[in-house]
């Protein structure tokens, strides 16, 4: 994606030029649908709807957008709108069919490497998140948000490169990019990814002492 | 068979990213920009979306700027001007201009000649400018109160984002509100506007 083209696209939209709509769709529709489907495991129909809402929000709010730091500002803004739409979508799913069903557990990789206790912790956090979403009085989503604070806490305890690796790989940032950010070779990052995940879940376990009891049992893959 | 790249830990991390607890500091945005867009959206869906966006674009009516700062920023962006193209022509320093763009200086501290040059340069209507002058002065005057509120606010979670959102909301509220400003300030504002009208 050419960053310079973004300035022209923004000018077109701000000036009410209809060509800007086609350019926006060509730049983002396939790309964001791909992200929604591949990274967030949203069904294709929902993904198209979500991307449509995202791009509508871009057009409706284009007059509030300004380039402040550089050519990449517009792309970052579009992605932040996409993230907000995706978050609202996930929150809605959490109140209905549940987050794990939404992310389609069968699509997730086998979990032999995690113990039953560790899987219990994951499910407990997701359940708390779902419950908080179902609280009708929590209109601003603060309670929902707080249920995930523990994840940020545990990430902060990891080494910087471990933190970058986990955060970036969860969103499919290529290993090559992470290697540049961390200064570690790609091969090492690939080997260490599973170990760092294991370290993360073990540290997370410290926050849930009440769930201890069957650490030795290993879950079966789905 | 499709490779399963994500597991339950990724699910948690993605939730945390969506809720603002995890930040990739631009790495995700860069990755999205670099990825080859997938296929699968058909021509009909593309055309449908373009149609929707065109209707939305036709319905968009930008709100007129409330303050001098908002007006300067909007005008500069829309007309693709650099700040120095404005401040050198209206006769203020770069610092003063920056304060004007940020609504960090009362219009009463800017000489009437400067306003006159600005009206000419940007082809402003005096009626609109009058309202902006009043609202900008009001915003500058009540900013200490706004800061007081923000200082008491203890945000949880996305600290910077929440504080910034709150500040934007307060700014708009102060700009839109009809608040009592001191009689002397009101008088000086009237004098400024009268002087502008005369010239």
Q: pLDDT per residue over B124-179, tens digit each?
A: 888 888 889 999 998 898 888 777 766 666 555 555 566 667 777 777 777 767 77
**Which residue of A14, A15, A19, A25 to mutate against B (max B Cβ within 10 Å)?**
A25
Nearest residue, CB atoms, B7 vs list A60, A108, A146: A108
Q: Which of B4, B49, B50 minimises the CB distance to A107?
A: B4
Give me the pLDDT at residue B51, please. Answer: 95
B169 Cβ under 8 Å from any chain A Cβ: no
Q: Positive or negative, the Cα torsion across B58, B60, B64, B70? A: negative
Per-window interface: A 170-189 vs B, CB < 8 A:
170-174, 177-178, 181
Calpha distance B185→B141 (Å, rounded): 10
Q: CB neighbours of B52 closer than 8 A, spacing ≥ 6?
A: A52, A56
Q: Is any Cβ of chain A less than 8 angstroms from the Cβ of B17?
A: yes
Determine the pLDDT at residue B56: 94
Percent of chain A topping pLDDT 70: 82
Residues A83, B17: C-beta atoms closer than 8 Å? yes
What is the number of other CB atoms lying within 10 angstroms of the CB of residue A62? 24
The distance of B145 to chain A (nearest Cα, Å) reads: 25
Question: Does B80 reach chain A within 8 Å, measured CB to CB?
Answer: yes
| B37 has a pLDDT exceeding 70 | yes
- Residue-level pLDDT at B153: 60
Residue predicted with more confidence, B103 or A109: B103
Residues B18, A144: C-beta atoms closer than 8 Å = no
* Shortest CA distance from A140: residue in chain B: B162
pLDDT in tens, B47-67: 999 999 999 999 987 778 889
Judged by DSSP in three states, B165 sits in: helix
pLDDT at residue A139 above 70? no
CB of B178 less than 8 A from some CB of A:
no
CB pair distance less than 8 Å for A122 and B16:
no
Buried b (16+ CB within 10 A) or exposed e, A22-42: bbbbebbbbbbbbbbbbbbbb
3 state SS for B35-51: CCCCCCCCHHHHHHHHH
Number of helical (H) and strand (E) elements in chain B, helices listed first: 10, 0
**CA triple B158-B162-B168, angle to 5 deg:** 155
pLDDT tens by residue, A57-97: 999 999 888 887 888 899 999 999 999 999 999 988 888 87
The residue-averaged pLDDT of A149-166 equals 92
In this prediction, residue A26 has a pLDDT band, given cuts at 50, 70 and 90, of: very high
Of A31, A107, A144, the CB nearest to B35: A31
- Beta-carbon separation of A167 and B24 below 8 A: yes
The answer to whether residue B44 neighbours chain A at the CB level (below 8 Å) is: no
Scan residues 190-219 of A and list those with Cβ closer than 8 Å to B. Answer: 197, 200-201
Of the candidate ranges A176-185, B2-11, B56-65, B127-136, the one whose mean pLDDT is the lowest:
B2-11
Overall pTM > 0.80: no
Q: What are phi and psi of A218, to 5 degrees?
A: -110, 140
């Amino acid at each position: 994606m050419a960053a310079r083209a973004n300035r022209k696209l923004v000018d077109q939209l701000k000036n009410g030029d209809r060509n800007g709509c086609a350019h926006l769709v060509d730049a983002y529709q396939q790309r964001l649908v791909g992200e929604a489907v591949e990274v967030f495991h949203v069904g294709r129909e929902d993904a198209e709807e979500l991307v449509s809402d995202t791009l509508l929000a871009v057009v409706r709010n284009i007059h509030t957008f300004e380039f402040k730091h550089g050519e990449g500002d517009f792309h970052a803004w579009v992605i932040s709108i996409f993230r907000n739409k995706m978050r609202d979508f996930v929150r809605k799913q959490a109140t209905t069919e549940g987050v794990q069903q939404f992310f389609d557990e069968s699509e997730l990789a086998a979990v032999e490497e995690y113990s039953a206790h560790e899987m219990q912790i994951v499910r407990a956090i997701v359940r708390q998140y779902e419950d908080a979403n179902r609280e009708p009085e929590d209109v601003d989503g603060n309670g929902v948000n707080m249920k995930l604070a523990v994840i940020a806490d545990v990430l902060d305890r990891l080494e910087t490169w471990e933190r970058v690796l986990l955060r970036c790989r969860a969103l499919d940032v290529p290993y090559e990019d992470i290697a540049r950010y961390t200064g570690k070779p790609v091969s090492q990052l690939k080997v260490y990814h599973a170990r760092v995940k294991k370290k993360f879940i073990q540290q997370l376990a410290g926050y849930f002492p009440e769930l201890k009891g069957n650490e030795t049992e290993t879950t079966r893959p789905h | 068979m499709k490779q399963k790249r994500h597991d339950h830990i990724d699910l948690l991390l993605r939730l945390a990213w969506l809720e603002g607890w995890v930040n990739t500091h631009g790495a995700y945005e860069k990755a999205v920009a670099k990825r080859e867009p997938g296929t699968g959206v058909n021509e009909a869906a593309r055309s449908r979306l373009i149609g929707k966006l065109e209707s939305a674009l036709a319905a968009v009516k930008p709100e007129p700027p409330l303050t001098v700062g908002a007006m300067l920023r909007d005008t500069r962006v829309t007309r693709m001007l650099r700040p120095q193209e404005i401040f050198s022509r209206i006769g203020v320093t770069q610092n003063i201009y920056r304060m004007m763009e940020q609504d960090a200086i009362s219009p009463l501290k800017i000489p009437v000649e400067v306003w006159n040059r600005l009206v000419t340069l940007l082809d402003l209507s005096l009626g609109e400018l009058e309202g902006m002058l009043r609202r900008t002065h009001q915003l500058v005057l009540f900013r200490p109160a706004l800061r007081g509120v923000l200082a008491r606010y203890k945000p949880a979670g996305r600290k910077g984002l929440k504080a910034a959102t709150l500040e934007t909301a307060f700014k708009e509220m102060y700009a839109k509100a009809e608040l009592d400003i001191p009689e002397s300030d009101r008088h000086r504002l009237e004098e400024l506007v009268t002087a502008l009208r005369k010239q």
